[in-house]
Amino acid sequence: MIQFFRTPSQSVIATQVDHQLSEEEVKELCWLYGEATLEATDTLAGWFVGPRREMITPWSTNAVEITQNMNLHGISRIEEYFPVANAEADHDPMLQRMYEGLDQDIFTVQIQPAAIQYIEDLESYNEQEGLALSPAEIEYLHQVEGQLNRKLTDSEVFGFAQINSEHCRHKIFGGSFIIDGEEKPSSLFAMIKKTTKENPHKIISAYKDNVAFSEGPVIEQFAPKDHSTSDYFVIKDIESVISIKAETHNFPTTVEPFNGASTGTGGEIRDRMGGGVGSWPIAGTAVYMTSYPRLDGGRAWENILPVREWL
């Protein structure tokens, strides 16, 4: 069942629970929701903007975990809905939807799985969906069809196109180049790695993880003397190692709190913590490289580089 709690700001917090809440549980949830009150009905009239029913929000995941830490059991989903004047009210259709009333089916997904689609013509499907599969890759898929003795499904072809893409495989970046009939000794990737190989300087690790590491300065660390138990804090000098990354990154938007707004930050932190023996996310820098605006005539440094026609 779904219980509705009205907050002082008039938003509605829908709580999905597998049993009838006791008076003590209602009291604790009202406190948790900021002095909310339990609505006595199973449905609420009016227009509301709230999360799409198909996707449990990160906010809900955190809220449910809080109830578990409070020793409240049987709660599986918590979402917040905001009352609006009418169906034309502003909202983000990618993350939210308009609800004409709230009832016991607001979390129910009615969509039925689509039927399995077998691809009859791989070449045409490749063009139709923009998969950018090469002739060699399509030939490989035809061989797989022969081995399986059936046509491939749309999901199988899409999956292959993603995992075998240039982004994942670096087929061009790491491949051999034959120019004028002569195979070049190095790939593009090998040429980039050569710089580090011939001039390692203070580099500790590079091209082994999704992050590189270089020697840092001796820094003063303030930390517990024994990390395995409660202990006094001590100050000591340590030789630091600095992680280095330059990348626009992605991160699963269902596990970060703002549905994609922190996608780059989350991916950066993830890769740094997963590199080598792991690193601590303490501070980071952001560098934005843009062209000179050349709007004011008094900026002499903008004339060091000649103007280039980009289009």
Give me the tens of pLDDT residue by residue for the chain, a chain 311 residues long: 999 999 999 999 999 999 999 999 999 999 999 999 999 999 999 999 999 998 898 899 999 999 999 999 999 999 999 999 999 999 988 889 999 999 999 999 988 888 999 999 999 999 999 999 999 999 999 999 999 999 999 999 999 999 998 888 888 888 999 999 999 999 999 999 999 999 999 999 998 888 999 999 999 999 999 988 999 999 999 999 998 887 666 555 555 556 666 667 777 788 888 888 888 877 777 777 788 888 888 888 888 888 887 66
Residue 224: CB atoms within 10 A of its CB come to 12
What is the rounded distance in angstroms from the CA atom of residue 4 to the CA atom of residue 51? 15
pLDDT at 94: 81
DSSP count for the chain of H helices, then E strands: 8, 11
Per the rule left: phi > 0, alpha: psi between -120 and 50, beta: everything else, 180 is: left
Cβ neighbour number for residue 80 with a 10 Å cutoff: 20
- pLDDT at 254 (0 to 100): 54
pLDDT of 133 reads 94
With CA atoms as reference, report the closest residue to 247 among 227, 226, 275, 223.
275
Closest CA relative to residue 33, chosen from 58, 54, 6, 51: 6
Among residues 95, 60, 110, 101, the alpha carbon closest in space to that of 80 is found at 60
DSSP state string for 196-216: HHH--TTEEE-SSSSSEEEEE
Q: Where are the domains of the chain?
A: 2-102, 122-169, 200-274
| Residue 106 DSSP label | T
**What is the structure's pLDDT at 249?**
60
